[in-house]
Structure 1
Amino acid sequence: MSKALKIIFAGTPDFAAQHLAALINSHHEVVAVYCPPDKRAGRGKKLTACATKELALAHDIVVEQPVNFKDAGDQEKLANYNADIMVVVAYGLLLPMVILEAPRLGCVNVHGSILPKWRGAAPIQRSLEAGDKETGVTIMQMDKGLDTGDMIAKATCEITQQDTSATLYDKLARIGPIALLSTLDLMAENKHNAEPQDNNLANYAAKLDKDEAELDWQLSAAELHRKIRAYMPWPVAQFTFTDEKNTEHRIRVWQASFTDDAHGYLPGTIISANKNGVTVATASGSLCLASLQLPGKKPMPARDILNGKALWFAEHSNINNLTANNLSEQ
């Protein structure tokens, strides 16, 4: 067994909490947990603690919640923990050099991609959206750049046609802690190697925006299918439908499948609407919408929605406009 390290952990969501749990159950010592200040959430707008804070408090670990690390007092407090290393997982704050250099072994980050590809805030979603065949985690020595530090270890997993961002999070949350513990054991014995990243191979994984969730039928069915999976569970892919009263409805798409068939319809035309779902023509191939969510309702199988809204999804009409008829004469 390697030497036990004194660790400061910094992270926010459940993905980070699962890494924290692995550290707590290891022979290493977590001396403090850093997370952002509590936020108001829910209908009552009550202050809500993040997953890492709740886990830390349940194990009587000190929790620190600075707004940022610009204050000299916050910097000094972190340094006074005399930690060997700081582990950062989905923390959400950029760390200044004074923090990166405070622990004896510096700071390491568990990043949700195979670096140098997909640096940035949304690597899991962007890898899915791009059609990558695999993804993974990279354990990286942090520097002042955005996910630019030297790579210490990697763990990979396959991306299947059924994967969504949610299922990929689960996959990475399983392999990430294992890679992290292995890396820490190597670092404790100074047996690790750090490989510089090739900046020429880097891609930027920009943060998701709600506007991106609007489906564009001018794209191919394969592209739209990837977007639907990538935007699950947030912001959820959707399209705007205009009914006979000229009222707009934003309809979310929770499940779909696609084919590369040659259909002869204009993009956006409803090819069929039946028990299998609502099949829509795209620029290349067709997309079958199997589970939809109407405004103010829960997600439902498309076949159930058709029982009451069949007129909305009439064959050969435009998916965005009840009054249009987009049957191609080609």
Structure 2
Amino acid sequence: MSVSLRIIFAGTPIFAANHLEALLLNSKYQVVGVITQPDRPAGRGHKIKLNPVKITAQKYNIPIFQPTSLKEVRIHKILASLQIDIMVVVAYGIILPKEVLCIPKLGCINIHGSLLPRWRGAAPIQRAICAGDTETGITVIQMDSNLDAGNILYQKICPITINDTTASMYNKLSLLGIECMLSTLDNLLNNKTVQLKVQNELSATYASKITKTEARLNWSCSAVELERCIRAFNPWPGSYFMINNQLLKVWKATVVPYSKLQNKIQPGIILDADKNGIKVGTNMDILNLITLQPPNKKIMSAEELLNSRCDWLTIGTVLT
């Protein structure tokens, strides 16, 4: 193995780009190439938008590969020719076939945003917040052909506070992930013995991909569940409800306990609306909407919204 690890990096979003930049700024590692997903159209104009990893690789003049599939023999030959010691994978979004996993001398490692085996899959941060988990973390695994199921090389815990959103956890776990990644690579570079930990399959849970449809607030859920969803879907896709055929996003809410069990509240009904928030009935307790966003408008407080749309949000109106 070379004195400086020869690394190929695979990733796509900003979370991955932060890790890539940390590698590029560390002289102990030589990033000889970057694999990222193909350019795709985005936004209303469907213009081609470069992903954050590609932008970072271009900034540092690193060779970029954007295959539609890693099953292509051509890609296998390119990777083999680079004589890489290890592949570092962070939120790449495409499964690595066995033919790729066996190319690097030290195999492939994945930096994953959860405490595996909990929350394997595409959306571990969002699912952890939705589930009410009080902690998550970073897990570095030696990759195998199964999804996020490889042996654990390194793991570190990060608490989830009652105010954390996916956006805030994204930042926390990005910093923690870089720390875990560099520590793991240091151990490998210095030939330190790494104690592998086999994942307990009985404890595994799956973090399925987030859809815009599930971000719609279901008032038949409890206020606690809805408040978690609002934090989990911030910044994307944003929790929302419909009123007068208009979509209103909700960016912040609180739970108001309701103990009058003899008078069950109709889910979705507006119980009160003032400068302190818009109080809506749920299956259990009341959800107080504090920060909202009308269509094509800025994010605003409940008070600001009521000043401009008071006819929409009157007491007794049922939201859908």
> How much has 1:259 moved relative to structure 2?
2.0
Q: Does the CA-based 8 Å contact 1:251-1:292 persist in structure 2?
A: yes
Which residue number corresponds to residue 274 of structure 2? 274
What whole-Å deviation, never above 9, does each CA across 1:104-134 have from its counterpart, x for those lacking one? 0000000110000000111000000000000
The within-5 A match list for 1:180-219 is: 180-188=181-189, 189-219=191-221
**% of aligned pairs identical?**
44
Alignment of 1:82-97 (within 5 A): 82-97=83-98
Aligned to 1:173: 174
Distance 2:311 2:319 in 1: 11
Spell out the pairing of 1:114-125 with structure 2 (5 A cutoff): 114-125=115-126
Aligned to 1:110: 111
Q: CA deviation at 1:3?
A: 4.4
User: How many angstroms apart in 2 are the aligned matches of 1:126 and 1:53?
Assistant: 27
TM-score (norm 1): 0.92
Cα distance per residue 1:182-221 (max 9 Å; x no partner): 0011122142121110000000101011111111111111
Between stretches 74-83 and 182-191, larger displacement belongs to 182-191
Change (3 A) 1:43 1:315: closer
Matches within 5 A, 1:123-142: 123-142=124-143
Match of 1:327 in 2: none
- 1-side partners of 2:108 and 2:139: how far apart? 14
Instruction: Give, as a single letter, the amino acid of the residue that structure 2 aligns with 1:255.
Output: K
Give the secondary structure class of the aligned counterpart of 2:295.
Answer: coil
Instruction: Give, in whole Å, the separation in 2 of the partners of 1:231 and 1:51.
Output: 21
Aligned AA (2:213): D
Aligned 1:253-264 pairs, distance under 5 A = 253-262=250-259, 264=263
Distance of 1:259 and 1:158 partners within structure 2: 24
The equivalent of 1:228 in structure 2 is 230
Q: Match for 1:50: what amino acid?
A: N
The amino acid of 1:218's aligned partner reads S
Q: Per-residue CA shift, 1:214-261, capped at 9, x if unaligned?
A: 1111111110000010111111111111x3xxxx11211111111222
Q: CA deviation at 1:14?
A: 0.6
- Give the TM-score, by structure 2 length: 0.95
Q: Tell me the equivalent position of 1:74.
A: 75
The one-letter code of the counterpart of 1:215 is L
SS of the residue 2:221 aligns to: coil
Which digits, 9 at most, give the CA deviation of each residue in 1:118-171, with x for residues without a partner? 001110000000000001110000000010000000111110111111111000
Letter of the 1:194 partner, please give it.
Answer: L
Secondary structure of the corresponding residue to residue 93 of structure 2: coil
Contact 1:262 1:284 in 2 (8 A): no
Distance across 2 between alignment mates of 1:100 and 1:124: 26
Deviation at 1:300, TM superposition (A): 1.5
Residue equivalent to 1:49:
50
SS in 2 for 1:47: strand
Match of 1:326 in 2: none
| C-alpha RMSD of matched pairs (Å) | 1.4
Per-residue deviation at 1:310?
Answer: 1.3
Q: CA deviation at 1:76?
A: 0.6
Instruction: Give a deviation string over 1:254-310, Cα, whole Å, max 9, x none.
Output: 111112222542221211100011011111111111111112222211111111221
Gap regions ≥5 residues in structure 1 = 321-330
Q: 1:240 aligned to 2:242?
A: yes
> How many residues end up aligned between the 2 structures?
314
Name whichever of 110-119 and 44-53 sits farther off: 44-53
Deviation at 1:46? 2.8
Name the SS of the counterpart of 1:311 in structure 2: coil
2: CA distance, partners of 1:95 / 1:226: 33
